[in-house]
Structure 1
Amino acid sequence: MKNWKHVIYLVCAIQIGAGISMMGIMSFLPLFLSELGITDPGEAAFWAGIIIGVTPFMIAFSAPFWSIQADRRGPKTVMSIVLIAVVLSSFFSGITTAPWQLLLLRTLQGLVGGFVPIGLSIVVSVTPEEKTSWSMGYFQAAMVMGIMFGPLLGGAVADTFGYRMPFYAFSLLAFLCLIALQIFLPDIHRKGAAKETDSTWSQIKFFMKIPRVRIMTFMQFLCNFGITGIGPILPLYIKSMMGDSPIVATVVGFIIFISGGCSALASLNTGRITSRFVIHRVLITATIFVGFTFIMQYLMTTVAGLGFFRGITGLGMGFIAPCTNTIIAKSVPPEKRSIVFGVVSSVFLMGNVAGPVCSGAIANYFGYAMVFWSTAIAFFLAACVIIWNFRGEKEI
């Protein structure tokens, strides 16, 4: 494809908008739950963990199906379905009156599959092989920017107009992304995709038999556990530092923004770094680094100190997903690259489920501090897995 870079930029732009719409609740969800009758901080953390975690949980089961459908019918159709679901679920979230209603809407949102696996399938389909690291870095940066701007905008709107208004803003943004998708994204079909008749389960078994894919999938599971695990407790943890300040949600959003900005900066430079250093060594270094920075976050006694080390953590996180996804893409046959991420995402997305749910439960029973330690341990375990399986190797 001659204009493959234009497609990458468009998919990244839509990913930013979709990410903002889906992740913007992180800065104010535990605080919004107080309006729905959940006043105990521990119970709020637990509910927030479940509500945040249920979407990736459902995506883990539905993503393989939708990714295969995208491979057969074209990703544009499936992306449209995902964005329509985000538009509707975000809008109706603004009129919920009970936590279970919010949980139900997030569940339905996850049933239609996630945007990320479909976006990754487009990236690997249109990108020349020698530019894979570059494209993965840009797409990861787009994912991070959604996570970065979403909580910041959500927190600012929530503090200014109330906790319900962000949901309507997210719904509008997702609708604009849907329009951009229909107008600007060309139809992309993989050659021979219509002949693909393997079931979802057989596709999973095929990819899991490839040792490097299996290792990277497990590693991504552990890192997703660590990355998402802090989400449900961060607003409550910062509120415990700031007291009854009226700008807690804004501060939370700003801290996530700083972390995301550092992460995006690292992701954009992944291609340059991996051209100079062996990619799995970059991955090991970044993973260990992130583990130590979570310990430093726990040791901070001020919001400024916590925010600083959240930003430093973002630098390490920015290298992890592009490196992992590049290794996965280069470990499968070229004709399978367009669907590999949708299929294996059913495994590593479970880390997005386990992280929020476990951290919410840990915070409820053992306190906020234990969440930072469990997150650090998750990253250290991931580093050990990579070191063990890449021992003695100098290149991929």
Structure 2
Amino acid sequence: MEIWKRNLIVCWFGMFVTAIGLSQIAPVLPLYIGQLGVHDTAQIEQMSGITFGVTFIILAIFSPIWGQAADKFGRKPMLLRASLGMAVVIFCMGFVQNVYQLMILRMLQGVVAGYSTACTTLIATQTDKEHAGWALGVIATSSISGSLLGPMVGGYLEETIGLRSIFFMTGVLMLIVFALTYIFVKENFKKSDRKVLKFKEVWDLIPNPALLVTMFITAFILQLAFYSIEPIITVYITQLSQNTEHIALISGIAFSASGLSSIIAAPRLGKLSDRIGAQKVMLAALIAAGIIFIPQAFVKSPFQLTVLRFLLGLATAGLTPSVNVLIKKITPNSLTGRVFGFSMSAQYLGTFAGSILGGQVAAYFGIRYVFFITSILLLINALWVYKTVCKRISYNKRSQFAN
């Protein structure tokens, strides 16, 4: 088997487990905090929001730092550092005795994480150009599907093996990821002796910084769209359902439906982007996702919502790989890790912002307005991509042809 294919398989599994480890705590966090001695409902909600969100804020800060380290020391050392660090930290979460210990470990998890950034950089730099779009599409399914399946997995495991066992199991899986990475991942990397560049120096080396900003904002909006519904989907399912039993399981299935469809669609859309251009796939995906969000506000049953969430996953599966392909094309190889670190920061901030947006909009205006506002944001993003990316790339191609 070719080295890049073997790297892809290991990285896919590692990113999938990492994403599940980050997201599966969401549905069980209030229950765990209740077990840790917090019994007031309002306080549980407050502590849950802080404990869940703090990891992604810390991740947004440290992703560019670890991306810079990956450019200087190699991507495989970052993979080993992140997988081993997360294995230890998540395993320790099963032993906490109060909510403050859990919060500290969630913060530490944000510090040591960075597996996804290093994986994306490794695949982008070690895969040949002919297969880059497909490979980045495949790797995108791991993060998206892991993040979306995580809540359902967490809810199921809570009912079967208990809350603390979830952390022990995830820690062991991350240890397996560490072992697989150490044994099978190979990287052709030469250590750089160059000085560490400051942010402005990095930015000055980017051929098209305006295009890069568009990619970062698109990554942010994508995550915001996915997670805007997470804090209120259980409430929405309760309103739609005639049967109040198994609400958590039904909510997990509805939320995770888009993750399942992304697994199916992302590699195919990655191949399509190799043929027709990543910018065209991105534009079509943004428009389709913006449209599909609207009917979710008018559904009459959980089944209808689940079907629409599945269709949403088919549409948005084209976004992350297209963003990554364009970032790779406009970024010098020596800065790939640093720039992908910035992109991951944008995604983590989008996850945090989406959770906050969904809850606040639902509280002040009603749940259905969450879908309307998210749809508007996606369609505005599509218009911006058309003007700043598609038109510019088409103009550059015509200019090259004329010359």
TM-score bucket of the superposed structures, by smaller chain: 0.7 to 0.9
Q: How many residues were matched structurally?
A: 394
Q: Corresponding residue for 1:173?
A: 173
- Structure 1 residues 184 and 218 mapped into 2: Cα distance closer, same or farther (>3 Å)? same
Find the residue that maps to 1:28 and give its secondary structure. Answer: helix
Q: Corresponding residue for 2:236?
A: 237
What's the C-alpha RMSD, in Å, of the aligned pairs? Answer: 2.9
Amino acid at match of 1:118: A
Alpha-carbon offset, residue 169 of structure 1: 2.0
The answer to whether the aligner puts 1:160 opposite 2:160 as a matched pair is yes
**Which fold has the larger relative contact order, with Cα–Cα distance below 8 Å and residues 6 or more apart in sequence?**
1
Post-superposition Cα deviations, 1:18-64, rounded to whole Å, max 9, x if no partner, equal 22222222343355555554664x87666544433322211111111
Q: Corresponding residue for 1:126?
A: 126
Aligned pairs (5 A) from 1:265-284: 265-284=264-283
Q: Corresponding residue for 1:104?
A: 104
Q: Corresponding residue for 2:401?
A: none
Contact 1:219-1:385 within 8 A present in 2 as well: no
Find the residue that maps to 2:318 and give its secondary structure. Answer: helix
Contact 1:278-1:394 within 8 A present in 2 as well: no
C-alpha distance in structure 1 between counterparts of 2:354 and 2:116, whole Å: 18
Alpha-carbon offset, residue 393 of structure 1: 4.9
Amino acid at match of 1:355: G
C-alpha distance in structure 1 between counterparts of 2:70 and 2:149, whole Å: 28
C-alpha distance in structure 2 between counterparts of 1:162 and 1:121, whole Å: 36
Amino acid at match of 2:130: E
The answer to whether the aligner puts 1:138 opposite 2:138 as a matched pair is yes
Amino acid at match of 1:288: I
Contact 1:30-1:232 within 8 A present in 2 as well: no
The answer to whether the aligner puts 1:20 opposite 2:17 as a matched pair is no
Unaligned runs of 5+ in 2: 398-403
Find the residue that maps to 2:341 and give its secondary structure. Answer: helix
Contact 2:33-2:44 within 8 A present in 1 as well: yes
C-alpha distance in structure 2 between counterparts of 1:43 and 1:280, whole Å: 45
C-alpha distance in structure 2 between counterparts of 1:230 and 1:55, whole Å: 19
Contact 1:73-1:189 within 8 A present in 2 as well: no
- Structure 1 residues 204 and 22 mapped into 2: Cα distance closer, same or farther (>3 Å)? farther
Amino acid at match of 2:8: I
The answer to whether the aligner puts 1:88 opposite 2:85 as a matched pair is no
The answer to whether the aligner puts 1:63 opposite 2:63 as a matched pair is yes
Alpha-carbon offset, residue 274 of structure 1: 2.0
Larger Rg: 2
Q: Corresponding residue for 1:291?
A: 290
Q: Corresponding residue for 2:4?
A: 4
- Structure 1 residues 16 and 347 mapped into 2: Cα distance closer, same or farther (>3 Å)? closer
C-alpha distance in structure 2 between counterparts of 1:243 and 1:25, whole Å: 27
Q: Corresponding residue for 2:382?
A: 383
Contact 1:30-1:236 within 8 A present in 2 as well: no
Greater displacement, 265-274 / 25-34: 25-34
Q: Corresponding residue for 1:356?
A: 355
C-alpha distance in structure 2 between counterparts of 1:225 and 1:274, whole Å: 23
C-alpha distance in structure 2 between counterparts of 1:150 and 1:56, whole Å: 15
Amino acid at match of 1:168: F
Q: Corresponding residue for 1:326?
A: 325
TM-score by length of 2: 0.86
Alpha-carbon offset, residue 129 of structure 1: 1.8
Identity of counterpart residues, as a percentage?
Answer: 25
Amino acid at match of 2:165: M
Alpha-carbon offset, residue 89 of structure 1: 3.2
Post-superposition Cα deviations, 1:72-109, rounded to whole Å, max 9, x if no partner, equal 22222222222233223323333445554433322221
Alpha-carbon offset, residue 159 of structure 1: 2.2
Alpha-carbon offset, residue 122 of structure 1: 0.4
Greater displacement, 113-122 / 385-394: 385-394
Q: Corresponding residue for 2:257?
A: 258
Unaligned runs of 5+ in 1: none
C-alpha distance in structure 2 between counterparts of 1:213 and 1:323, whole Å: 12
Contact 1:145-1:261 within 8 A present in 2 as well: yes
